[in-house]
Structure 1
Amino acid sequence: MSPAVDLVTLGESMVSLRTAGPISAGGCLSMHVAGAESNVAVGAARLGQRVRWAGVVGVDPHGEFILRQLRGEGIDVRHREDAARSTGVMFLERRTTDVTRAYYYRSASAGSTLSREDVDLALQGGARVLHLTGITAALSPQAREAVEYAAHRAKNEGILVSLDVNYRSKLWSREEASAALARIVPHASVLIASDDELELVAPDMDHTVLERDSSGTAEVLAAKHLLAAGVREVVVKRGAAGAEVHTADQRFEVPAVPVTSIDTVGAGDAFTAGYLSALLDGEEVAGRLRRGALAGAFAVSTEGDWEGLPRTGELALLGDHVAGSTQR
């Protein structure tokens, strides 16, 4: 019997209130859904995968808004409502064209109470891939234990585990992140990180060497350690510089798709959604990288965390596009 869904993600989704200028100056706010895991869920669903998102929301309009938006994207929602806690909220301030700042109001939020029982509900019926991030593990000790349990259970059940480091300095220190992620990494088959996050998850590495080395050698060394620890694919996101994948046999690299960047929020999640959807479609590593780069290009060239993410038939729009062109 085939699994109920292709991809399961679990974590906290919040209401994001966006401004086009400094918050202190006032002005209009636009309301959106934000969250790394739900961003990936939307991206993968639009690319044709059967997707489930699991999490906890408050009994409030914010939680209702999140659930409605995700269901509207065709995502199977497995959620719990916590009447004693509020759904998390964040403000996203476009301070300048090049600088965006996030302000979180998620301490003791409903989403931070993710538990083993929520994981059991999320994995009921099985899945082909479970996608996790370091963000959820940073929310609370209970959420961290739930993420560890999810990774352990999924691996034991033959579900491929994908882990995106997604380090957030406003949630925990690098030392805390490294210690916690060390318990999750051994269960991961696909490890996704930006180039400056590898030191958090590379076991037994001299971090001072990683910090000093800018030649790329440290990245290769870190990838080798992770591969030796059981990870099958180490995916390194470099933003405008493209991305690379290290496997036991070889390395694959892809440049970023040249587009006009207007909003980089959610670009890494878009890349991950593209990469995982291609993996689920049976693409080889080079094809996964290419789809990830295309999805990331859609994200940075449109407003919002996920609103501009492509559907399968739209990927070709940026394949060989000419800047400023109109499709007729």
Structure 2
Amino acid sequence: MKVLDGIRRNDFIIVGRVGMDLFPDPPGTATEDGTVFHADMGGSSANTAAGIVKLGGKAALVTRVSDDAVGRFCVNKLHHYGVDATHVTPVGGEARNSLALYESRVEGHQSVIYRNGAADFEMSVEDVEAVDYARYGALVTAGTVFAAEPSRSATFRAFELARAAALPIIFDVDYRPYSWPSPQVAEEVLSRAGAMADVIVGNDEEFGFMAGGIDKGLDKARALAADSAEIVIYKMGEKGAVTFSNGQELHTGIYPVTALKPTGAGDSFMAGFLSALAGGHDLEAAVLRGSACAAIVVGKPGCAPAMPFPADLDAFLKSHPGPSAPEAKD
């Protein structure tokens, strides 16, 4: 199956965590001053899955959750957003679901992430081997899933099974230093995952990390596109993005907005980008629609609840003056 053919089935198997998000209300409140907190679904893979479903696609999640009230909260939220939780398995013992406590403000923003003994890292080879990959169009994952065992080996096994079923592999580098035992391990493992992926999305720091220096990141992205991946997206924050595909380099800008918070943009970008390709948009339009989804999410509280529906995205694109001019990157 060709990469775009798989994506256009608009039915994704997504490997990675689901967690709980807590954020103080009203927006602008510091965590230490909060008295009212809202709870919703979090976790990069679960957010991406929710974004895809809200935009009209299908998504199933493969992960582990804690066998407690918080784990059940997360599964309930997956059901709420229409994400298939068939392959979400509870694990007992001392494993606990991840928790992200963050603020709806940019200046002085604080995020506190609880990942000690994370339940999602307990995902096993048996969990991913229980999936019928032929039912889906593409596999999606984010780099955090590789940070610890047995999740790391399980995800590489999922890559093998997806490849055997002719599914394209879509990889968001998503490097989170606090999850890894060392930068050296992260560089080796993420580079291995990148070499197996058909579509790779990351920011300049993440590609630079994989290459051994931020000044080498662009060349790393370019090399991956030349050697193994069909699409590589090198994101540069407010400077836009460079997309490499079929020997071409596509430069795109962003949709400037007044951000309420800095979190959730990457997950929403991935959901919007894949949904746009699934809907028949060309590569440039898909990257821009992904950027528009990112802009929408940073302007609202929460991550999964802020992901747009098609009407929200259409309204944003009609009302916004348009993307910024892309900046050249040497």
Residue 137 of structure 2 is aligned to residue 128 of structure 1:
yes
Equivalent position to 2:179, from 167, 171, 182: 171
Residue 151 of structure 2 is aligned to residue 143 of structure 1:
yes
Residue 75 of structure 2 is aligned to residue 67 of structure 1:
yes
Paired residues of 1:253 and 1:289 also in contact (CA < 8 A): no
Distance 1:310 1:155 in 2: 31
Q: CA RMSD in A?
A: 2.3
Map of 1:43 onto structure 2:
51
Give the partner amino acid of 1:275: F
Residue 196 of structure 2 is aligned to residue 187 of structure 1:
yes
Render the CA deviation track for 1:256-291: whole Å, top value 9, x for unaligned.
112221022111110011111122223221121121
Equivalent position to 1:229, from 202, 227, 230: 227
Render the CA deviation track for 1:154-189: whole Å, top value 9, x for unaligned.
122210101111011111233221111122222200
Distance 1:281 1:289 in 2: 13
Q: Which runs of 5+ in 1 are unaligned?
A: 324-328
Distance 1:175 1:126 in 2: 36
Map of 2:251 onto structure 1:
253
> Structure 1 residue 120: deviation in Å?
2.2
Map of 1:239 onto structure 2:
237
Map of 1:198 onto structure 2:
207
Distance 1:50 1:299 in 2: 20
Equivalent position to 2:23, from 18, 21, 27: 18
- Say which is worse superposed, 129-138 or 250-259, in terms of deviation: 250-259
List aligned pairs for 1:48-59, cutoff 5 A: 48-59=56-67
Distance 2:242 2:103 in 1: 29
Which structure carries more relative contact order (alpha carbon 8 Å, separation 6+)?
A: 2
Distance 2:17 2:131 in 1: 13
Residue 15 of structure 2 is aligned to residue 7 of structure 1:
no
Equivalent position to 1:288, from 270, 286, 289: 286
Paired residues of 2:187 and 2:209 also in contact (CA < 8 A): yes
Q: Give the TM-score normalised by structure 1.
A: 0.87
Give the partner amino acid of 2:113: Y
> Structure 1 residue 43: deviation in Å?
0.6
Paired residues of 1:152 and 1:187 also in contact (CA < 8 A): no
Residue 164 of structure 2 is aligned to residue 159 of structure 1:
no
Q: Which runs of 5+ in 2 are unaligned?
A: 322-330
- Say which is worse superposed, 57-66 or 266-275, in terms of deviation: 57-66
Residue 92 of structure 2 is aligned to residue 83 of structure 1:
yes
Give the partner amino acid of 1:19: P
Q: 1:279 to 1:95 in 2, by over 3 A?
A: closer
Map of 1:29 onto structure 2:
37
- Count how many residue pairs are aligned between Structure 1 and Structure 2: 310
> Structure 1 residue 125: deviation in Å?
4.5
